[in-house]
Amino acid sequence: MISVRPAIENDIEVLCSFDLIAQCENERREFIRREVTSGNCFVAVADKKVIGYGVLNYTFYYVGCIDMLYIYSDYRRSGAGAALLHHMESLCQTPKLFTSTNLSNLPMQSLLAKLDYVLSGVIHNLDEDDPEIVYFKRLR
Q: What is the mean pLDDT of the chain?
A: 97
At 140, the pLDDT band (50, 70, 90 cuts) reads: confident
Helices and strands per DSSP (H, E), number in the chain: 4, 7
The share of the chain scoring above pLDDT 70, in percent, equals 100
**Domain count of the fold of the chain:** 1
At 127, the pLDDT band (50, 70, 90 cuts) reads: very high
Q: What is the CATH number of the domain that holds 6?
A: 3.40.630.30
Q: How far apart are CA 98 and CA 120, in angstroms?
A: 9
Q: Is the dihedral of CA 11, 14, 19, 23 positive or negative?
A: positive
Count Cβ atoms below 10 Å from residue 65 Cβ, excluding itself. Answer: 22
Task: Assess whether pLDDT exceeds 90 at residue 26.
Answer: yes
Label residue 89 exposed, middle or buried (CB < 10 Å: 0-12, 13-18, 19+): middle
Give me the domain span that covers residue 11: 2-138
Report the first-to-last Cα separation within the chain, whole angstroms. Answer: 28
| Alpha helices by DSSP H, the chain | 12-18, 26-38, 80-91, 106-114
